[in-house]
Amino acid sequence: DWKLQDLLEEQIELIKSAVGPNEHAICALSGGVDSTVAATLVHKALGDRLHCVFVDNGLLRYKEQERVMETFKRELHLPVVCVDASTDFLSRLRGVTDPEQKRKIIGAQFISVFDKFACHLEEELGKTATFLVQGTLYPDVIESCPPPGSGKGHSHTIKSHHNVGGLPAVMKLKLLEPLKWLFKDEVRKLGKLLGVPESFLKRHPFPGPGLAVRILGEVTESHLEMLRQADEIFVNSIKEAGLYDEIWQAFAVLIPVKTVGVQGDRRTHAYPVILRAITSEDGMTADTYEFKNKFVKDVTGKICNTVRGVNRVAYDFTSKPPATVEWE
């Protein structure tokens, strides 16, 4: 793809000239497509002046930290440091139920982790980090701050994306966003050009604020635990059925109301889990993925039988619009 090859070379040159010879950059790797491709691209331009960090914010999926660190080590030859900041994130989120508030707190916590990482580089290694690499894509830019008269249909911010807008004002680091003009399918192609393994490129998108936007209301340890298990069962069943690559994104959502059920010979008062799976071209609009009924019934059975605290499962049939992909 000539257009992408040109863009790649152009971005590498731009980064080389923007970042001075004694300056360093930090990149938060999430294990997803965007940050992995962004880091690989910047690494081509800066080499060992790029320092990657994987932040465990306590809002990750089942065994995500172990799995991602292992894959980074095995398949991607980028140096990555793992920072466990879960206690900080979860304590700041305690008692918070407003969706925008949750996103803002998480964004601020990420910044504080990046700032601390920059201080560590400076104090321990004498390296001055001046840039932060973000895997921001074009749809993120449009949905967070639509250009006036862009005709993209949004008159104001839909929700504050953790990786767009607001950040530079409070943060000492300047942003490097080499994928800012691309859509997801282009990022996947660019990743292929850069030699990023398929296992990364095929992963479903996962939002920066993690499970916090899939646990409605307050984020608690017990809700995280339930959601992780339900989500793992759903996504594994999709993989086993060979459907993963047909779907843009599939996940579970936990809502903070209880319904009555009967499990074994006991009446229960427990939480429902919502399953959501969609197809999409770019995340800006989406259609419901239609499973066979039997598939959804089997997953429902597995979830209710194994996840303590869940006694009901529902499937979300809403497209985007009117709904967004995530529930918050």
How many other β-carbons are positioned within 10 Å of the β-carbon of residue 155?
A: 7
What is the distance between the alpha carbons of residues 23 and 270, in angstroms, rounded to a whole number? Answer: 53
Beta-bridge partners for 82: 54
Confirm whether residue 36 is marked as ligand binding. yes
- Does 283 interact with ligand XMP (rule: CB under 6 A)? yes
∠ CA 155-248-244, rounded to 5°: 170
What is the distance between the alpha carbons of residues 135 and 94, in angstroms, rounded to a whole number? Answer: 28
- The 8-class DSSP code of residue 166 comes to S
Write the binding mask 247 to 276 for ligand XMP: x where contact by CB under 6 A, - elsewhere. --x---------------------------
Confirm whether residue 115 is marked as ligand binding. no
- Does 287 interact with ligand XMP (rule: CB under 6 A)? no
Q: Where are the alpha helices (DSSP H) in 145-292?
A: 167-170, 184-193, 198-201, 221-240
Nearer to ligand XMP, 40 or 311 (CB): 40
Peptide bond into 99 cis (omega under 30): no
CB of 267 to ligand XMP, least distance (A): 36
Write the binding mask 304 to 323 for ligand XMP: x where contact by CB under 6 A, - elsewhere. ----------------x---
> 174-176 and 50-56: which strand pairing?
unpaired
CB of 284 to ligand XMP, least distance (A): 7
- Does 57 interact with ligand XMP (rule: CB under 6 A)? no
> 259-263 and 266-279: which strand pairing?
antiparallel
Write the binding mask 168 to 207 for ligand XMP: x where contact by CB under 6 A, - elsewhere. -------------------------------------x-x
> What three-state secondary structure class fits 47?
helix
How many other β-carbons are positioned within 10 Å of the β-carbon of residue 47?
A: 8
CB of 207 to ligand XMP, least distance (A): 3
Site residues (CB under 6 A) for ligand XMP, limited to 11-40: none
CB of 100 to ligand XMP, least distance (A): 11
| Member of 24, 49, 162, 203 binding ligand XMP (CB under 6 A) | 162
175 with 191: CB under 8 angstroms?
no
CB of 308 to ligand XMP, least distance (A): 27
> What residues are designated binding site for ATP?
30-36
Q: Per the annotation, where are the binding residues?
A: 30-36
In the complex, the residues that contact ligand XMP under the rule CB under 6 A are 143, 161-163, 205, 207-209, 249, 283, 320, 324-326
